Amino acid sequence: MGTAGRGTGLSVRAGLCGARATRVGAGKGHWPRSLGHEVAGDERGACRARSWCLAAHRTGVQRVSRMHYFLGRSSDLSFPKICNIFLRLHHTTTSRTCSCSKTITDEKYKDPFKLGRKDLKNLYEDIKKELLVSTAELKEMCEYYFDGKGKAFRPMIVVLMARACNIHHNNSGEVQESQRSVAIIAEMIHTASLVHDDVIDDANSRRGKTTVNQIWGERKAVLAGDFILSAASVALARIGNTTIISVLSQVIEDLVRGEFLQLGSKENENERFAHYLEKTFKKTASLIANSCKAVSILGCPDPKVHEIAYQYGKNVGIAFQLIDDVLDFTSCADQLGKPTAADLKLGLATGPVLFACQQFPEMNAMIMRRFSLPGDVERARQYVLQSDGVQQTTYLAQRYCHEALKEISKLRPSPERDALIQLTEVVLTRDK
């Protein structure tokens, strides 16, 4: 799984694309490398998901045969490994105690949101200062989602990572101005992509608000997204560091490529899962991974630390999205601020669906026609809820979080590092 692209079975054309080939850190497969062999000894964060694991074990025997079926047709390097990992997991995850998270919660418990907040005061005011625009309406549209009601999940991880790296490097207790700019830019890039996604998906509501495209129309909404992106890009240039520019520009490219991946669906079931994970990395994790990497570069000259920051962000980011995909099935619309089963309605088969499809092969046809026939969405939803797709996806998210935890633990202890450790749990247990 070591070389670029192989881990996710992506891109035969990797050689054509210089940018991708030279990308540091991106080469690792999206699957935690150590999944298979570390399960027995190191697997402790699993307590939260014990019931899910049990559920997984129950169906384990059945699944072995299904997994073999998968293996037989696999054309992808990563997928057999994925399957292997699962096979092993099913045999090792039965009796587990909650030792690890106890130590965190008892002594070094840090609420990541509380700790990150002090650096995020005035975050939205500062973002608005970057949006220098002369027309009142365009300004209003651009500021629409910077209303202080978002989770600011990304900026929070970024400032915590900045402090953790600074302390690791030279015990510095301050966040640099440039590192804070990265947090601001990350939120801006994220928001710009949300505005465009909502046009692409023809979405009506987000975070409990009517979407920009619904209020002002698609044409203006797309321009507003473009404007936020250009403002982020100006702020990025002003940091004055060409490496940081390269790292964060990669995010913009990944976001678009992720959106393209979402447009197509793979017929081959094995490719389908790799495709899904690659999409998840590009659409969600790349931003977190590369922003973490950017602040680590600004805070510490050691490339090992940059890799730790990147791997942490990547793994947490994928886990975050996996849970997001789970919540689309388990949460109610009020909690989420957007309609549920939204992904199915858009024709997208996410983790829970792909797992459910292993149990109910009749879902294949629905996936291929992107749930376009009347009743498809509801039937697929029922299949997912009857299957252990939700548990399996959650369990997978947990594996990524575990990998993130392993990475971040390599840094010197600090309240911020511990908050990032705690965050790996928060990601799994959030309900909205």
Partner 1 sequence: SPSAASHWSKVVSEAEKIVGYPTSFMSLRCLLSDELSNIAMQVRKLIGTKHPLLNTARGLVYDSRNNLQMRGLVVLLISKAAGPSNTAEISFQHDMISGIYSSQRSLAEITELIHTAFLVHRGIVNIGELKSCDGLLKDMQFGNKIAVLSGDFLLANACTSLAQLQNTKVVELISSAIGDLVQGIYYDNSNLSEENCLTHDIGISTWKKQIFLSHSALLAKSCQAAMELAKHDAEIQDMAFQYGKHMSMSHKLHSDLQPFIKGKSSDSVAFSLNSAPVVLHQELLGREAWIKQIREAQHKGNLMDFTRLQEAIKAGKGVTSAIDLCHYHGNRALEALESFPPSEARSALENMVYAVTRFS
Does residue 129 interact with partner 1 by CB under 8 A? Answer: no
Sign of CA dihedral 134, 140, 141, 146: positive
Question: What CA–CA distance (Å, rounded) separates 82 from 408?
Answer: 23
Residue 244 near residue 187 (C-beta atoms within 8 A)? no
Site for partner 1 in 171-210 (CB under 8 A): 196, 199-200, 202
Q: Is the Cβ of residue 284 or residue 394 nearer to partner 1 in the bound state?
A: 284
Does residue 218 interact with partner 1 by CB under 8 A? Answer: yes
At its nearest, how many Å lie between partner 1 and the CB of residue 233?
A: 4
42, 226, 378, 431: which one binds partner 1 (CB under 8 A): 226
Could you tell me the two tokens for 84? 């292997």
Q: Which range touches partner 1 (CB under 8 A), out of 95-103, 118-126, 217-225, 266-274?
A: 217-225
Does residue 18 interact with partner 1 by CB under 8 A? Answer: yes
Q: Which range touches partner 1 (CB under 8 A), out of 74-82, 120-128, 235-243, 275-283?
A: 235-243
Question: What CA–CA distance (Å, rounded) separates 189 from 45?
Answer: 32
Could you tell me the two tokens for 170? 């030279």
26, 183, 229, 423: which one binds partner 1 (CB under 8 A): 229
Residue 352 near residue 389 (C-beta atoms within 8 A)? yes
Residue 411 near residue 417 (C-beta atoms within 8 A)? yes
Q: Which residues contact 431 (CB under 8 A, 6 or more apart)?
A: 327, 331, 335
Site for partner 1 in 137-176 (CB under 8 A): 137-138
Q: How many Å from the N-terminal Cα to the C-terminal Cα in the chain?
A: 33
231, 297, 357, 384: which one binds partner 1 (CB under 8 A): 231
Site for partner 1 in 359-418 (CB under 8 A): none
At its nearest, how many Å lie between partner 1 and the CB of residue 191?
A: 14
Per-residue x/- track, 255-294, partner 1 (CB under 8 A): xxx-xx--xx------------------------------
Does residue 230 interact with partner 1 by CB under 8 A? Answer: yes
Question: How far, CA to CA in Å, does 7 sit from each of 38, 71, 163?
Answer: 18, 16, 31
Give me the DSSP letters along 59-124: THHHHHHHHHHHHHH--SSHHHHHHHHHHHHHHH-SS---HHHHHHHHTS---HHHHHHHHHTTHH
Q: Is the Cβ of residue 335 or residue 372 nearer to partner 1 in the bound state?
A: 372
Which stretches of the chain bind partner 1, using CB under 8 A? 11, 13, 16-19, 132-135, 137-138, 196, 199-200, 202, 217-220, 222-223, 226-227, 229-231, 233-234, 236-242, 245-246, 249-250, 252-253, 255-257, 259-260, 263-264
